[in-house]
A and B are shown apart, each in its own frame.
Chain A
Amino acid sequence: MRHPRDRSRSRRPLSSAALHTTLVGASVLAVFPVAWVLLTSLKTDRDNWARPDTLGTLGLGNYRQVLAETQFTTWFANSLIVAVGTTVVGVLIAATAGYAASRMRFPGQRPLMWMFLVTQMFPAAVLIVPLYNVLSDLGLLNSYGGLILAQCTVAVPYCGWMLKGYFDTIPVSIDEAGRIDGLSPFGTFWRLIVPLAKPGIAVTVFYSFITAWGEVAFASVFMQSEDRYPLPVGMGTFVSDFTAEWGLLTASSVLVMIPAAAVFFLVQRHLIAGLTAGGVKS
C-alpha cells in the first residue's frame, strides 16, 4: 500500500499521533463490552457482577456451573445444528440459483432477482404469524428442520443476490472452456466456478451462519420446549424479572462468542475481497 505516495510515510509526528489516538480510542470502544463480559464471567463471588469496582476471586466457577448444572450444552447444540443446517442448505441452493441467474438467460430470471431483493426487506414480523401456521401444518414446529427452513428465508435471498454478483465477476470464458472439454452445465458450475468463487462463498457462509446463530424472533417462537431452545431463548432465562444470574449469563456469552468468532476469523481473510467483488462490479 505504501508505494506511490511515499510522502504519506513521512507524515508529521503530530498528525500521526492523532491518527493512532483516534484508532486506539475506537478500538477500545469496540473491544470494551466484550472484554467486560469476559471479566464479569470470571468473577466467582456471587453478586459481584453488580460491583464493577470489585474483582473478588477470579476463577472458572461460572463456566463449570453453566456446563454442568444448566441446559446450556443442549441449547448450544440446538443452535449449532440450526446454524450449520441453515448455512449448508441456504448457501447450496442460493449458489445454484445465483449461478443460473448469472450465466443463463431463462424465462423467470428477472422475477427471481426481484424476489431476492424484495424478500430481504420483509421483517420477521411480517412473516412470523403465517409462517407459524405453515410450519404447524407441516408438523415442523419445535423441530430443527422447521427452524432451519425459517432461517433460510432470511439467509437465501441475501446469499443468492451476493453470489450472483460474485459469479458475474468470473469470466464467462472459463465456463466456455469447461463446456468445450465436455462438462455439463452443472459440472462446469461445480468443478470450475465453485472453486474460483471461494471468497464470495466464504462471505455468504459467514453471513448465513452469523444470522442463524444470532436470530431471535423466529427462534423464540418456533421452538417451544426447553430442550429445543436455541441459545438466545435459553440464555434469556438466566436474566428475567425473577432471576439475575449474570455470572451464568456472561459465562455462556463467552462460550457463544467462541464459535462465532472462530467462523469469523476463518473467513475474514476473504471477507473484504468478497464484499468488494459484490459491491464494485457495476
Chain B
Amino acid sequence: MTTLATGPRSGAAPAPVPPRRRVPLSGLRRLRRHWYAWAMVAPVVVVLGVLVLYPLARGVFLSLTNATEMNVGRTIGSNEIPPSYDFVGLDNYLDVLSGAEGAFYSRLLWTLEWTVICVTLHYTIGLGLALLLNRALSMRGLYRMLLILPWAVPPFVAAFGWRLILNDEGGVLNAVSRSLGMGTVNWLGEPFAAKISVIMVNVWLGVPFMMVALLGGLQTVPRELYEAAEVDGATPWQRFRAVTLPGLRPVSGTVILLGTIWTFNQFPVIALLTGGGPGGATNILVTEAYERAFQGIRDYAGAATYGAIIASMLVVFASVYRRWLARQTSEVLG
C-alpha cells in the first residue's frame, strides 16, 4: 500500500524495458500479448467505469446546470415529463466560492478543524497505544483485543450507542457529571458541545485502525537499530526520534493519508449523531452536500457543485501530500 507513499519513482525502477517493445505492436498482437491481463482487469474497469467515472462526469455536468427535483425529467404514471433545467455555466461555483450562497466557508472551516483535530488525535493516541503494546507485557493479547473492539463496531451502531450516552435527558455522561457535582452539558444540542461530541465519537472509532497499522509498522523496525542506538547511549526519547519515527514513516504516510480522506468524508458519525445540527453547526461539507441533494426540495445542482469542490480539494491535497512525502523520504534515505 505504501507504493502510494513513494509514488511513481519506485515504480520506474525494476525491469528496464527491452528496446524491442518500443516498436508499436499491431492491434492483434497487442491483444494476443495482453489479453490475459485485460481479461482480469476488465470487470473492475466495467464496474468502476459505469458506477464511478460516468456518474462523476454526470455530476460535473449537473453542477453546471440548475437542476432540482422540480425540473429534472421524470415519469409520473404514464406521463413522461421532459427535463427542463438549463445550462448555467459556472454560476453555481461562483455562488458558492464567492460566499454569496452563505454556508460554504463556515462549513469548510469546520471541516478542516474536524479533519485536523481528528486525524491528529487518531495518530497520536494510536501511536501511543501501539508503543505500549509493542513492549513485552503480560496480557498483551487481551489488551489488544479490547482496544481493537471499537473498530469491530459498525459506525452507525456506534453513533446510536453514543447518542444514548450523550443524551440530554437520561444520558449516562450527564448523570455521572451531575453526581460528581459538575454541571451538565447539552452534548448534542449546543453547537460547541456538539462539535466536541462528534470529534470524541470519531476519535473513539478511528484509533484502533491507526493502532493496528502502527503496531504492524513497529514490528518491522529492525531491532538491531535499537540495540545500536542503546550502545551509543541514546536516551529513550532520542531512540524514538531517531529510530522509531523514521522507521514508521512509510506506514505513517499511508495511514495519515487514508485517515485524512476517511475523516474528511466521514458521513455516518455526523449524520446519525447530530444530523448536522444544531442548526447545521456540525455539518461538514459531505453531509451538507447530502442534505442539499435529499432534503426539502432536492437541489441536485447544488449538491453536485459541493461534490465537485470536495473531490477537487481532496485530489489536490493527495497529490501535494504525496509529493511532500516523497521528498521527505528521499531526504531521509540519502
| Residues in chain A within 8 A of chain B (CB atoms) | 1-2, 4-5, 8-9, 19, 22-23, 26-27, 29-31, 33-34, 36-37, 40, 49-53, 92-94, 96-97, 99-101, 104-109, 112-113, 115, 117-131, 133-134, 149-150, 152-153, 156-157, 160-162, 164-165, 168, 184-186, 189, 210, 213-217, 221, 231-232, 235-236, 239, 246, 249-250, 253, 256-257, 260-261, 264-265, 268, 271-273, 275-276, 278-282
Contact = CB atoms under 8 A, between A and B. Distances in A.
Interface string B133-154: 1011100000101111111111
B318 A214 contact: no
Given A101-B41, A112-B45, A121-B311, A264 B51 contact: no
Contacts of A213: 154
A140 to B, nearest CB: 10
Contacts of B147: 23, 26-27, 30
A9 B179 CA distance: 41
A126 B4 contact: no
Contact of B143 (A27, A231, A246, A268): A27
B150 A30 contact: yes
A22 B307 CA distance: 42
Nearest to B260: A121
A51 B258 CA distance: 40
Given A19-B135, A126-B310, A272-B212, 6 more contacts: A36-B172, A123-B307, A126-B308, A128-B303, A213-B154, A279-B213
B37 A100 contact: yes
A273 B216 CA distance: 7
B164 A123 contact: no
A37 B161 contact: yes
B217 A279 contact: yes
Given A152-B51, A231-B156, A216 B268 contact: yes
Nearest to A93: B43
B227 to A, nearest CB: 7
Interface in B28-87: 30, 34, 36-38, 40-41, 43-45, 47-48, 50-56, 58-59, 62
5 contacts: A30-B149, A129-B307, A150-B51, A253-B160, A261-B149
Contacts of A104: 34, 36-37
Interface of B: 1-6, 10, 15, 30, 34, 36-38, 40-41, 43-45, 47-48, 50-56, 58-59, 62, 129, 132-133, 135-137, 143, 145-158, 160-165, 167, 169-172, 175-176, 179, 204, 207-208, 212-213, 215-217, 219-220, 223, 226-227, 250-251, 254-255, 258, 261, 264-265, 267-268, 271-272, 285-287, 289-290, 293-294, 300, 303-304, 306-308, 310-311, 314-315, 318
A282 B158 CA distance: 35
Contact of B271 (A9, A93, A161, A217): A217
Contacts of A134: 50-51, 54-55, 58
A92 B42 CA distance: 12
A232 B50 contact: no
B31 to A, nearest CB: 11
